[in-house]
């Protein structure tokens, strides 16, 4: 394929790019310039959906100014910080393009990669998702991500691609199917895998942030990890059964040991240490089991309340 053909590959398809925005006032103009440069280079009929996720800075004011410069911008301001996954899901609900892309606001997933991904949709794939080959993060964080993705893949009822994030492109058909899952705690890369269709993963080197620090605190990362595990795996519930069986085996063995000592006249009045150890062990099993059950009950409770998953405060060009 020649360069010229590649440039005009998507002339007949409307493109939507969804970008969740959080604390990006200082560098958002750089991200949008990169998007606009690629729009011109690829001759896209573009719609850019920006979802401002309750930032403490003036990100939405910056978006309003940029919307005057780039007429294809649609913007949504959430009433508070609902989290990255909810922001992306909200953006998808406003996307009207034939092809939809999801990228971050910090240029770690640069728009210049998108033509390569859109080319896979032209070949007949419904989803092309990014597989992070190298991450520009600390070793501890990279190791934690690597371990988590592999654990999730091994225990999940739905096979979620290893080292894949939210960065992807999809057809309008897949987007609509994903939005039929009205979950309060969505794990979008899991939902993307769950809906199926013809998908392909493409490796890429993830860039470092252009400026600032990630909005993903440890608390938010743990929440996303929990959403992935509890939404797509029943293994935690099976662990409770295993813990119960383990406790039963230990109880039987200890009972046999105690009876043996009784008939051999070895029973001593001093059994305080043994009793405390057993009490702590079984109490811990009970608390762990209740915690796991509680996670599932909380998610059931969230769903049956049937609250809207987000609240829109303000929009631009919508």
* pLDDT of 259: 67
Q: How would CATH label the architecture of 3-233+308-316?
A: Alpha-Beta Complex (3.90)
Q: Which residues contact 198 (CB under 8 A, 6 or more apart)?
A: 124, 125, 126, 127
Q: Which residue has the higher pLDDT, 213 or 95?
A: 95
Mean pLDDT of the 84-110 span: 89
Q: Convert the pLDDT of each residue in 147-182 to its tens digit.
A: 665 666 666 666 767 667 788 999 999 999 989 888
Which of 101-105, 159-163, 248-252 ranks highest by mean pLDDT?
101-105
Cβ atoms of 35 and 18 within 8 Å: the answer is: no
Report whether pLDDT(46) > 90.
yes
Mean pLDDT estimate for the chain: 77
How do beta strands 127-134 and 199-205 pair? parallel
The H or E element containing residue 45 is strand 45-52
Say which range, 31-45, 176-190, 255-269, 283-297, has the weakest mean pLDDT.
255-269
* pLDDT of 196: 83
Mean pLDDT of the 246-267 span: 68
Q: Band of the pLDDT at 2, cuts 50, 70, 90?
A: very low
Q: Band of the pLDDT at 225, cuts 50, 70, 90?
A: low
């Amino acid at each position: 394929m020649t360069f010229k053909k590649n440039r005009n590959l998507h002339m007949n398809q409307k493109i939507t790019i969804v970008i969740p925005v959080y604390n990006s006032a200082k560098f958002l103009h750089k991200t949008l310039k990169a998007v606009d440069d690629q729009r011109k280079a690829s001759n896209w009929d573009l719609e850019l959906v920006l979802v401002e996720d309750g930032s403490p800075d003036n990100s939405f004011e910056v978006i309003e100014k940029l919307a005057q410069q780039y007429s294809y911008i649609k913007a949504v301001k959430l009433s508070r910080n609902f989290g990255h996954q909810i922001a992306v899901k909200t953006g998808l609900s406003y996307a009207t393009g034939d092809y939809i892309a999801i990228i971050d606001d910090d240029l770690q997933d640069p728009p210049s990669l998108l033509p390569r991904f859109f080319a896979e949709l032209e070949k007949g794939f419904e989803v092309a998702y990014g597989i992070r080959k190298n991450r520009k993060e600390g070793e501890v964080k990279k190791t934690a991500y690597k371990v988590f993705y592999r654990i999730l893949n091994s225990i999940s009822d739905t096979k979620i691609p290893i080292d894949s994030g939210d960065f992807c492109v999809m057809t309008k058909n897949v987007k609509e199917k994903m939005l039929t899952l009205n979950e309060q705690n969505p794990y979008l890369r899991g939902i993307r895998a769950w809906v199926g269709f013809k998908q392909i993963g493409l490796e890429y080197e993830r860039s470092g942030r252009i400026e600032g620090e990630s909005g993903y605190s440890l608390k938010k990362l743990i929440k996303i990890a929990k959403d992935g595990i509890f939404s797509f795996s029943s293994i935690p519930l099976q662990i409770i059964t295993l813990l119960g069986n383990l406790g039963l085996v230990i109880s039987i063995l200890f009972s046999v040991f105690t009876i043996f000592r009784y008939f051999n006249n070895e029973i001593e009045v001093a059994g305080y240490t043994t009793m405390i150890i057993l009490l702590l062990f079984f109490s811990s099993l009970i608390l762990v089991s209740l915690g796991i059950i509680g996670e599932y009950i909380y998610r059931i409770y969230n769903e049956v309340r049937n609250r809207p998953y987000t609240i829109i405060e303000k929009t631009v060009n919508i």
